[in-house]
Amino acid sequence: MRRDLGEVGKALRERLARAWLYARTIHAAQVVPQVRPAQLLEVARAARGQPLGPHLAATFYAQVHPDKEAIVEYAAHGVQRITWGALDAAINRLANALIARGVDGSATGRRVAVMLPNGSEHLIAHLAIGRVGATIVSIGSHLKAREIAHILGDAAPRVTVVHADALAAMTAARAEVGRAGAMIVVGDPPSDRPAELTAWPDALAAAPSARPVTARRERDAGAIVYTSGTTGAAKGALRTWRATGGEPIADLMLQLGVRADDRHLVVCPLYHSAAPGFAMMMMALGATLIVLNAFDAATAIDVIERERVTCTLMVPTMLRRLAELPGGLELGRRTASLRWVMSAAAPLPTETARQFMHRFGPVLWNFYGATETGLVTLAGPDDHTARPGTIGRALRGAEIRLVDDAGRAVPDGTPGELYVRSAMQIAGYHKAAAATEAAMRDGWFSVGDLGRRDADGYYYLVARKHDLVISGGVNIYPREIEDVLHAHPAIADAAVIGVPDPAWGESLRAFVVVRPGQAVTEAEVIAYCRAQLADYKRPRRVTFVAELPRNPTGKILKQALRERP
């Protein structure tokens, strides 16, 4: 009995601590302005019986400040500004259009495929699907018919929302897997379109703007995000709205100083997981999203200056391109509105962090996480200087284990496979029980990253498990060599892989991108590494390339490098 009471007391203290964390976060973010009781009553009435999800924020802010900008979209055809009131109405219209096409959150109508580039339509679709109580199936806007067919066959969506530029690939993929169902097309659809295809404006115009009635919903409504597929066929990571991970998000928001008056620049792809995650976090506060359809470094600087952007999420490749722009310290003055820039989706090279903060000031943060695990660690601007290469400390609510191949905990300073347990963890891979089981260990999840922890509790990534190189029986972590190469003044980008070696089992091969106007030879690169690393860590071969193959989220496609002669 005494132990039971102790467990109850512990659980109560944890709940109170979480409540206090959330209260502090809301207060610090200045979320709630002067709200009239009548507005709160209307919001409560509107939310009653609605599915969980970020779409509820649009309902709230449409009541509290309907004329405030929710989305500012920079597209080829011009700038579009959408208020919270207009956004909520568009969400309702699309939700009703989906319901009319058989999407109802039930077992047979719970999934909607979305294949769109960045834009307001992508955000509206994301929120409308949640309002119906269905599941969004994100499809990369760059994928080809074969890759799309794999996702359609795996997820079996009821309706598809697709951009006209991808319509041919989508149509071919649907034919390959025998999928039918309605399609809503953004952009200019063909004039001879079939009956199941409706243009986006027509679909919204024909649907009512009243809040939809969602008669049936499944508890697992949320999102299926397909992994990058750098080592094989993409797997669908299923995340429910109940797995929002309040503690890690609140901790991150407090550390960043996120505010309701922020203006957040969206440049990373919304079909992935980090970009929509941060977009939904900012929208939950009532902040304004500034959306670029495609990333261009010079354009991003112009938009940051014009829109007084306060924060953004970028991948390291984008940060490097910004840091390499001409303009000297003038760039820092033009972007003085920035309070924080988050790096994500791929390892942040120390040299990239140094160059970026030299140009733009101490605003750069870095988080570690994955589609499967959500937010795990966070490193701030001072950490990049004091602890080069760190991914920071664990966020509140995210537990980390580093273990060897036998599952035993490794001591500080020793690399081990990084396992995570948190409320943001996915439910599993869709229709892939074996893959889910292979990634799990006693309730902890691993995506195959190898890391180490120092005595102060800061974590560092050393490699992906499948990228580990074993040469002469010694483990070599390519990230260490890559960090050295990135610090070379003539090298803009670099990647290191293991290649078969008859004497050593494997040896190192480096792929190097040289900075414009610079020159360096293979012998010079090898000598540079030998001067800073143990001899067995130096590359035995250096290949110069114009650019490294990367997926749209910035991860280097090392399998493509391994296939090169």
pLDDT in tens, 58-78: 998 998 899 999 999 998 888
pLDDT one-digit tens code per residue, 305-317: 999 999 999 988 8
Structural contact between residues 348 and 366, judged by C-beta atoms closer than 8 angstroms: yes
Structure-block tokens of residue 444: 């902890």
Q: pLDDT (tens digit, 9 = 90+) per residue, 371-382?
A: 889 899 999 999
pLDDT category at 2 given cuts 50, 70, 90 is: low
Would you state the structure tokens that stand for residue 125, as one six-digit string? 């679709």
Q: Specify the range with the lowest mean pLDDT, choosing from 11-25, 105-119, 162-176, 478-492.
A: 11-25
Between the CA of residue 105 and those of 387, 430, 454, 472, what are the distances in Å? 47, 17, 46, 55
Spatial distance between the Cα atoms of 524 and 16, rounded to a whole number of angstroms: 59
Phi, psi values for residue 81, rounded to 5°: -120, 125
Q: What is the mean pLDDT of residues 451-478?
A: 86
Q: Report residue 94 as tokens.
A: 């699309």
Q: Quick check: 346 pLDDT over 50?
A: yes
**DSSP H helical segments within 519-563, as ranges?**
522-532, 558-562
Asked whether the beta carbons of 147 and 159 are under 8 A apart, the reply is no
Domains of the chain: 37-64+85-226 (3.40.50.12780), 468-562 (3.30.300.30)
> pTM of the predicted model, to two decimals?
0.85
Name the average pLDDT for the chain: 87
Per-residue pLDDT, averaged over 531-557, amounts to 87
Is the pLDDT at 296 greater than 50? The verdict is yes
Q: Say if strands 364-370 and 374-379 run parallel, antiparallel, or are unpaired.
A: antiparallel
Among 143, 126, 24, CA closest to 71: 126
The strand pair at 222-226 and 236-240 is best described as antiparallel
* H or E segment to which residue 319 belongs: helix 316-323
The mean-pLDDT minimum among 88-102, 187-201, 308-322 falls in 187-201
Residue type at 335 in one-letter notation? T
**Which pLDDT band holds residue 368 (cuts at 50, 70, 90)?**
very high
Question: Tens of pLDDT along 229-281?
Answer: 544 567 888 888 766 668 899 899 999 999 999 999 999 999 888 999 999 99
More confident residue, 555 or 87: 87
